[in-house]
Amino acid sequence: ASVVVRHKPAIEIPDLTTEKPGVIVRDPAMRLIYEQAARAARSPINVLVLGETGVGKEVLAKAIHTHSPRSKGPFLGVNCAAMNESLQESELFGYEKGAFTGAHQARAGLFEAAAGGTVFLDEVGELSAGTQAKLLRVLEERVVTRLGSNRPRPIDVRFISATNRDVESESTTGRFRQDLFFRLNGISLLIPPLRDRPQEIEPFARMFLAAACREIERAEAPRLSAAALEILRQHLWPGNVRELRNAVDRAVVLCIGETILPEHLPPSLVKAVEARRGATPPLAGLTAA
């Protein structure tokens, strides 16, 4: 009798929350997002990261790249909202010498420069209609044609896009190309806002506090007072993680003592919290956490 033993195929799923000191994942919903991202990282599938401004879309995109087969290649990103249509095309597709006024020499675009790596299109929902059409061709044919040229050049990149817009709804109204949406949306990952992840506010605050002290070479990092920490916990954070970092950076600069107090936080932030809870301002003399 013959016996054939086959091992059950096992797919190693990386932990995207390790190896990156700037990543904090405590909320259950965020853990699920990072688990899905880890599965997507090992495949060539296009990823669309959704969420409000400042929630950490680029952090997640970098984590996906770091744990992908393309990790040794470059990770190149561009903010599509920061460019007009002509600049979008020249930055993404490149151009030949003499293609337009000021094009004194040929230049490879982002898609060529990221060969073997990952292209991150931040705020992809802000692309013009013309650029959307050209991007669709790049995704379908995996070639790019520089401005001023008629020769298509093959590219080898993985695409990760991000936006704070509801591009799925916009694709049904014509604001965003539906065929492009389907191409970009191999898998979508929706990052919840910081206000829905209260477990992560304190860890983020302490991480940013330590980073801010390193930047200004402050040997002894101040502590967060209980009152200041409570304000951070109760704020709704419309600017999400980015707003939290700015608030902590400001507090570190203004605090010359050993403890960060509510008075060191942005006044608008403190007033917003006080207005919501309808309480008197916290006492500055509360002990540190």
Taking 90 as the threshold, does the pLDDT of residue 7 lie above it? no
Per-position b or e across 16-29, b if 16+ CB within 10 A of its CB? bbeeeeebbbebee
How far is the CA of 200 from the CAs of 91, 150, 248, in angstroms? 36, 51, 14
> Over 70: is that where the pLDDT of 264 sits?
yes
Give the pLDDT confidence score for residue 103 in this predicted structure.
Answer: 83
As a whole number of Å, the CA-based R_g of the chain is 23
Single-letter residue type at 245: R
SS3 259: strand
The enclosing H or E element of 38 equals: helix 28-41
Does residue 3 carry a pLDDT above 80?
Answer: no
Task: Write the Ramachandran bin of 238: left for phi over 0, alpha for psi from -120 to 50, otherwise beta.
Answer: alpha
Torsional class of 102: left (φ above 0), alpha (ψ -120 to 50), beta (otherwise):
left
Residue 104: predicted pLDDT: 85
Q: Pull the structure tokens for residue 35.
A: 């688990």
Beta strands in the chain (DSSP E): 47-50, 75-79, 94-95, 107-108, 118-122, 143-144, 153-154, 158-163, 187-190, 223-224, 259-260
Q: Can you list the alpha helix ranges (DSSP code H) found in 94-215?
A: 110-113, 129-141, 167-173, 178-184, 201-215
**Cα three-residue angle 278-281-282, rounded to 5 degrees:** 115
Would you state the pLDDT for residue 86?
Answer: 84
pLDDT at 283 (0 to 100): 45
Q: How many other C-beta atoms are found inside a 10 Å radius of the C-beta of residue 140?
A: 11
Cα atoms found within 13 Å of the Cα of residue 238, Cβ hemisphere only: 4
Res 16 pLDDT > 70: no
Give the tens place of pLDDT for each residue, 55-89: 999 999 999 999 999 999 999 999 999 999 889 99
For residue 148, what is the DSSP state?
A: T
The answer to which of 19-28, 40-49, 181-190, 248-257 has the lowest mean pLDDT is: 19-28
